[in-house]
Amino acid sequence: MNNKIKIHKMNECDINQAADIWQNCYNKYSSTNNFFPSYWKTNTSEIKDFLEQKVKDGAAFAAEADGILIGYLAFDAFNFNGEESVFCPSIGHAVIDDYADKVYLLLYQAAAKDWVSKNIFNHMWTINYNDTRLKNTLYDLGFGSYLVDAFARTDAKLDAVSSYEIRKAASNDADILCSLVEESREYYASSPLFLKRDPYLIDDISKILTNGNVFIAYNNNIPVGFINLSVSHENNCIDLSVKNCGMIDEIGAYIKPEHRGNNLGKDLLKNVFNYCTSNNIELIHVDFETANLFANKFWKKYFSPVLLSVRRTINKNIND
């Protein structure tokens, strides 16, 4: 190849090659980390479906050299916290290794020009956590870390012992859980997180108790924390979770500040692991904001980071 790279809107005929490039990249990074779900090593149907829709939407760019596809970038446009935004998931981009640095810059340059022309100033990507080359490229462009997706295997041994009593919540615990979830909203809105979460009504909490597995911790019969586990019913190519994967999602987990550092988090997690092993669930997924200082430290002790989401905000006056 003479390295004459062209960037153009992705076509339907590019989809199979793009999926192959993505899978090669996935296999490369998963080969050194057995926490990557193995399903994606051999299956690309969900990736192809995603790319097919992005091509129809005109939301994908391709890079080619001498007529051969060498990389692509596909994205979703949506409203995020009141701001028009774009999001490129981990399946939304891949580049052949030999061209990685140059092609990613060219793809982002073309895509960002399109986004900003439409007054879309909030740009988000999800990349492989250990792809330091792409991470450094994006950081130089002004992106910063935002969210981590991590996995744990439930055969890990957790020998937690604390003075807290942990009970699996029942339907009549809705008021207790609702109060703890409301307190967690205040925590997420505080510095340095500044994350606004919508309030949960008692009916919402009741549905979570019906559909999930919530464990509540008590100190002298006073509720001081919780963790919620649901089980996925399908493969999700956005966060790479798979069918029958444990998901610490929606309300997630929360411990009152004065009870942190006493092995309570580990005890709550132990109950989740025990539930999973008893129900033949081999893998658990969690995501957490990197600005959540307590969570960022806690989850990385027991989960292996697989994906990193980064975010960049463009100066709002560029189109004035």
In sequence order, the β-bridge partners of residue 145 are 310
Q: For residue 306, which of 107, 20, 38, 17 has the smallest C-alpha distance?
A: 38
Residues of the chain with pLDDT under 70: 1-3
Domains assigned to the chain: 5-141 (3.40.630.30), 153-307 (3.40.630.30)
**Cα separation, 218 vs 256, whole angstroms:** 11
For residue 106, what is the enclosing H or E element? helix 100-117
**Cα separation, 165 vs 35, whole angstroms:** 31
In sequence order, the β-bridge partners of residue 125 are 88, 310
- Residue count of the chain: 320
pLDDT tens, residue by residue, 5-51 = 999 999 999 999 999 999 999 999 999 888 999 999 999 999 999 99
pTM of the shown model: 0.94
pLDDT score recorded for residue 3 = 65
Q: Is the peptide bond preceding residue 192 cis, with omega within 30 degrees of 0?
A: yes
Cβ atoms within 10 Å of 27's Cβ, excluding its own: 13
